[in-house]
């Protein structure tokens, strides 16, 4: 009788790895957008007030934190850690949707983009959880 394998050591399936690396690349780009060139991507942003700088820079740092977590999960090839990172990203993105709806009063392009991203991440999270629950491939 073999000892059951710890779920944290289940390998990441290839499609989830590709998705994870796409999130890392997109995250690096958007961290750059928020911290280095926000005026080029957000019309009307002057980055002159402390609150604008703080909001943009803290968003960039939050994105980099997510990129770091996903990168660690990918390097360690841990499906469980990647699933955890996806779950936290989904929570944050849906929170951003809520904030956007309150501030805008209605959905905008950013709202729909975040909903679509959260939906794809939810699919990948469910895929990973089903693979972890099924056990290691033999």
Q: Tell me if 95 is assigned to some domain.
A: yes
Mean pLDDT of 53-59: 90
Residue 6 above 80 pLDDT?
no
Residue 3 maps to a domain:
no
Inside any domain, residue 33 = yes
The SS3 of residue 54 is helix
- 20-41 average pLDDT score: 92
Residue 18 lies in a domain: yes
Distance CA 75, CA 68 (A): 10
Assign 47 a pLDDT band (cuts: 50, 70, 90): confident
d(C-alpha 127, C-alpha 10), whole Å = 13
Distance CA 94, CA 97 (A): 5
Domain assignment of residue 49, given as a range: 13-134
- Tens-place pLDDT, residues 78-88: 999 999 999 99
pLDDT at 123 over 50: yes
Count: domains in the chain? 1
Residue 118 included in any domain:
yes
Domain assignment of residue 7, yes or no: no
Cβ pair 73, 12 in contact under 8 A: yes
For residues 92 and 47, give the distance between their C-alpha atoms in angstroms, rounded to a whole number: 24
């Amino acid at each position: 009788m073999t000892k059951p394998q710890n779920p944290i050591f289940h390998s990441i399936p290839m499609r989830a790895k590709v998705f994870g690396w796409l999130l890392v690349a997109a995250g690096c780009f958007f961290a750059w957008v928020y911290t280095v060139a926000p005026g080029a991507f957000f019309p009307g942003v002057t980055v002159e007030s402390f609150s604008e700088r703080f909001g943009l820079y803290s968003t960039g740092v939050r994105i980099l934190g997510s990129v770091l977590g996903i990168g660690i999960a990918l390097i360690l090839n841990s499906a469980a850690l990647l699933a955890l990172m996806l779950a936290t990203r989904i929570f944050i993105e849906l929170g951003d949707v809520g904030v956007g709806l309150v501030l805008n009063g209605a959905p905008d392009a950013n709202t729909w983009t975040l909903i679509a991203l959260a939906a794809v991440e939810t699919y990948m999270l469910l895929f990973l959880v089903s693979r972890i629950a099924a056990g290691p491939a033999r």
